Amino acid sequence: MESNVTLQETIESLLKNKKYASLRDILTTMNPVDVAGIFEAIQDEKMPVLYRLLPKDIAADAFVEMDEDTQQFLIQSLSDTELREVLDDMFLDDVVDMIEEMPANVVKRILRQSTNEDRKMINMLLKFPEDSAGSIMTTELVILRPDMTAQEAIKRIRRTGVDKETIYTCYVADNLSKLTGIVTIKDLILAEDDTKVKDIMDPNVISVNTYTDQEEVAEIIQRYDFLALPVVDTENRLVGIVTVDDAVDVMQDEATEDIQKMAAITPNTDKPYLKIGIFDTWKSRIPWLLLLMISATFTGMIISSFENALATSVVLTAFIPMLMDTGGNSGSQASVTVIRAISLNELNFKDLIKVIWKEIRVAVLCGISLAAAAFLKVLLVDKILLGNNEVTYGVAFVVCLTLALTVLVAKIIGCSLPMFAYKLGFDPAVMASPFITTIVDAVSLVVYFVIATNILNI
């Protein structure tokens, strides 16, 4: 992050000159996120010294924000007591996130330094499937009883709240741990002291199951503007909450995954771009490249089968890239728009007809505009300006008719394939540009050659 550049240099030079008091003063004023950024950028061997300068309350918060390599290096250089202090200050869901990325020996050491209770909880959390609500929830939350008064509730929050990840929304559960309502700190503070929790709580709680997909969790938090969403087990017992900051990270990751899939990349969002190895990058890119290359040979076969037509009228070849590219672009526009709308829950399979009808009308508008522009261009530039005699009115007409038809077909294929993929339970994002392009290429060539052979009599 650019803004840290000079600060980074200052800190490094202070560290070199052992100005520890000044360093501590600087670090105290910094946000833990920025402290983490400093650690990620300095040399490994300087980390332990700098880390020991951090005020205790910043140390754990900064540690959570560091990337896994930095965390791993630091853990290996901390004493058991220091490690225990960090772990004590961390929220359990953050510990679990960290453990998932660490090698076995580091995990063992972390678990050895955790309390029995924490270790049990960590092991429980580790068992949830990777992208589930259970895997991103925190189990540290304030639970209130329905017949507490507002004052008692606030007292309870005071007594137990320091360790809890968020106390802004409190959950009300009966004696069997069944979730019965939610109440915000705002409601509690604004209520009269002796009001009962059950009278100010909202009994209509929206919750998810531990196995709910994290993408759905994030979508619900966004739709309802929640700060946190309760997670219940199969018996409707409250087991945790997902907070909005984790939901935001899920949303960004999901958007990145969609973008990668649309560009024919197997999603790879665990690490930032520069930290992903060459071989891993290759692995996430080569499968689709191979598949699409093989599919493109069908397009080649279409050209081969019209070889004679092309041999007699080579000028037709010159328009192939323009037709294929425009078709591909038209199809991509439709498919990407539809894929994003499905992701944002704006579209459902039952909208299929509406979507196709809309795309047909847009395609007619686009097709006519493009064909008109192409006709002028072919005649003015290719025929008159460049004086290419092979470009006849017939050729111009064939090119423009193909163009308009290709755009129409491309938009219809582009908008409907993601809808069908969604309906069949596949990821619509896979039906984006590269896939559509390959299909549209083949279609546009067939249309082109059929029209050409018939109109130009070749």
Identify residues 130-159 at the interface with a copy of itself (CB under 8 A).
154, 157-158
What's the token pair of residue 352?
Answer: 């299929």
Closest CA to 331 of 403, 414, 404, 420: 414
Residues contacting a copy of itself: total by CB under 8 A? 117
**With binding defined as CB under 8 A, does residue 352 bind a copy of itself?**
no
The correct pick among 237, 282, 450, 455 for binding a copy of itself (CB under 8 A) is 282
Binders of a copy of itself in range 66-85 (CB under 8 A): none
The correct pick among 7, 185, 356, 458 for binding a copy of itself (CB under 8 A) is 185
Helix (H) or strand (E) holding 378: none
CA atoms within 13 A on the CB side of 347: 25
Q: How far is the CB of 273 from a copy of itself (least distance, A)?
A: 4
**With binding defined as CB under 8 A, does residue 330 bind a copy of itself?**
yes
**With binding defined as CB under 8 A, does residue 194 bind a copy of itself?**
no
Binders of a copy of itself in range 196-215 (CB under 8 A): 204, 206
In contact, 42 and 34? CB cutoff 8 Å: no
**With binding defined as CB under 8 A, does residue 332 bind a copy of itself?**
yes
Give the list of residues 6+ apart from residue 320 with CB closer than 8 angstroms, or none: 303, 445, 448
What's the token pair of residue 1?
Answer: 């992050």
149: which DSSP letter? Answer: B
DSSP string, 11-69: HHHHHHTT-HHHHHHHHHHS-HHHHHHHHHHS-GGGHHHHHHHS-HHHHHHHHHHS-HH
Please identify, using beta-carbon distances, which residue of 122 and 374 lies nearer to a copy of itself. Answer: 374
Q: How far is the CB of 125 from a copy of itself (least distance, A)?
A: 20
Closest CA to 97 of 238, 214, 12: 214
Closest CA to 330 of 441, 428, 220: 441
Q: Site mask, a copy of itself, residues 302-321, x = CB under 8 A?
A: -xx--x--xx--xx-xxxxx
Q: How far is the CB of 19 from a copy of itself (least distance, A)?
A: 20
Measure the CA–CA gap between 68 and 100, rounded to whole angstroms.
10
Amino acid at 441: D
**With binding defined as CB under 8 A, does residue 437 bind a copy of itself?**
yes
Please identify, using beta-carbon distances, which residue of 17 and 312 lies nearer to a copy of itself. Answer: 312
What's the token pair of residue 328?
Answer: 């591909």
Q: How far is the CB of 316 from a copy of itself (least distance, A)?
A: 10
Give the list of residues 6+ apart from residue 188 with CB closer than 8 angstroms, or none: 150, 153, 154, 157, 170, 197, 200
Binders of a copy of itself in range 26-65 (CB under 8 A): 29-31, 33
The correct pick among 260, 412, 446, 458 for binding a copy of itself (CB under 8 A) is 260
Q: How far is the CB of 255 from a copy of itself (least distance, A)?
A: 4
Helices (H) and strands (E) in the chain, counts: 23, 6
What's the token pair of residue 77?
Answer: 């250089």
Please identify, using beta-carbon distances, which residue of 80 and 385 lies nearer to a copy of itself. Answer: 385
The correct pick among 17, 120, 293, 385 for binding a copy of itself (CB under 8 A) is 293
Helix (H, G, I), strand (E, B) or coil at 171: strand
Q: How far is the CB of 434 from a copy of itself (least distance, A)?
A: 5
Q: Site mask, a copy of itself, residues 213-242, x = CB under 8 A?
A: --------xxxxx-x---------------
Please identify, using beta-carbon distances, which residue of 147 and 346 lies nearer to a copy of itself. Answer: 346
The correct pick among 80, 108, 129, 365 for binding a copy of itself (CB under 8 A) is 365
